[in-house]
Chains A and B, each alone.
Chain A
Amino acid sequence: MNRFFKVLFVALIAKPLVLILLGLNVIHREKLPQTGPSIIAVNHNSHLDTLVLLSLYPLSLVHRLRPVAAADYFLSNRIIAWFSLNVIGIIPLTRNGSAKRDLFSDCHKALDNGDILLIYPEGTRGEPEVTSKLKKGIYYLVKDRDDVSIVPVVTHGLGRALPKGEALLVPFNCDVVIGNSLDNKSSPAELVESLTDSYKELLLQCLTYHEHD
């Protein structure tokens, strides 16, 4: 990752885009982790999720935020791969399960380095504004470490602005709700359960969410 490119990208593209074309209601901004090693576990509705999370950080910290992203999607095209790796600074993750042993080695390296990982536990953007079943990967990533805090974050509205499969960005204000870091990480099922509960609770604090949606 090139820190200069990333700062430039966040300053000139991510922040203005989020400020003018979107518009954020940030609830509990103070709970956002400012130092690593930590994990932000955020629901996934749109490519904008990553831009929004990046825009919440001051330019001096954006290089700390490392999105964990699917290798099969983001490395499939040379231009996107270059952009993802060098500008956004993603940590590519193999989704097909073939390379189990060293699956998380880059993630561990980043955590050891004090970075903040951005992980989408749904594993995919899926249906707009619908949270899919959460995957257990985070548990296996953190099970041997006790230095990592997991902060649940819910975004809402970004699936309206730019859903999967659409090219037209339609301006909408979006909510970002930051929760308390999870403490129940004793088993994969429990971690997924507390994360799911936390998402449900955070969603209710959104300005743009309606229960009948």
Chain B
Amino acid sequence: MANIPFNALVAMIAILSFLGVATVIQVVMVKSNPSKDFTELRQRITSWWWIIGLLFIFLGIGTNAAIVFFAFISYLALKEFLSIVSTRQVDRSVVFWAYLCIPLQYYWVSIGWYGLFIIFIPVYMFLFIPMRMVMKGETEGFIKAAGILHWAVMLTVFSVSHIAYLLVLPEKNVSAGGIGLVLYLLFMTQFNDVNQYLWGKSIGKRKIIPKVSPNKTWEGFIGGVVTITLVAGFIAPYLTPLNHLQGFVAGLIISVSGFVGDVVISSVKRDLNIKDCGQLLPGHGGILDRMDSLIYTAPLFFHYIYYLYY
């Protein structure tokens, strides 16, 4: 644990205290209102303890352990995505190759090979998947199947691996390090989800995208954007190389793109006529239901700081 930079450690303790307070509030709510069913809230908080506990343990062990952890997250997300969409039986071996791109992609991350990390999936997997499918020779449904498979690895492997690459960037803020960047991105993304929900719930009126998410409102969206922009700007110098002003922009990017990721996955679910993508995280749904915003925020935040500092 000695390798965790001081500011990152403070952030971890703050997040754990946050969750501790939420747990206490939930226990009090259950005690004071025994007739109401709080199962979902309780499951949700328990799942958060698991997510955050595992994340912190792997971040604490070291960079490579954390990279393996994110690779495993990509695996779970890819498996979930491929399970809810339809795949052709003939493409089973192609799907197997799609899984194999996970260890490769995260290997490029671990050795810090930026050039290959950034083109491996968008270029090489893009070219490889249809080629492997052609070798099977089945042309019926070919276009749709190729599109689904490549989209799947882009969403769940390419996007998510940007979180891991934050860990191998040269340290520009030594008191926070790569862990600081990861915590900043993850916290801001999830805090944005919570804020958009809370703002929408308390003052939401005008629907923003009723065909996709009838509960999302302009008030929730704007409330979230303003809150996250301010908080992100305030915290940025502690956890990232960004100054306050650049932090405001980072917050703006995270909150707007987090919303987009959320509604993109919502559209996927609506198309498939399902409410959740899975049951991996009780109270949340599947792993994609929790990671939807991150699919957008991770690459955008990464390229923002990459452009400014690397």
Contacts and interface: CB of A to CB of B under 8 A. Distances in A.
B86 A170 contact: no
B33 interface: no
On chain A, which size bracket covers the interface? 20 to 34
A90 to B, nearest CB: 27
Chain A interface SS verdict (over half): loop
Contacts of B96: 168, 170
Interface string B177-200: 000000000000000000000000
Given A166-B92, A173-B79, A207-B274, A25 B86 contact: no
Interface residues of B, number: 22
Interface stretch (B258-266, B277-285, B297-305): B277-285
B83 A26 contact: no
Interface in B75-95: 75-76, 79-80, 82-84, 86-87, 89, 92-93, 95
Nearest to A21: B79
Contacts of B89: 128-129, 159-160, 163
30 contacts: A23-B76, A23-B79, A23-B83, A23-B278, A24-B279, A25-B278, A26-B279, A128-B89, A159-B89, A160-B83, A160-B87, A163-B89, A168-B92, A168-B96, A170-B92, A170-B93, A170-B95, A171-B79, A171-B99, A172-B83, A173-B79, A173-B84, A207-B84, A207-B274, A207-B277, A207-B278, A208-B83, A210-B86, A210-B272, A213-B86
Given A23-B79, A168-B92, A173-B84, 9 more contacts: A23-B80, A129-B89, A163-B89, A170-B93, A171-B79, A171-B99, A207-B274, A207-B276, A210-B86
Interface of B: 75-76, 79-80, 82-84, 86-87, 89, 92-93, 95-96, 99, 272, 274, 276-280
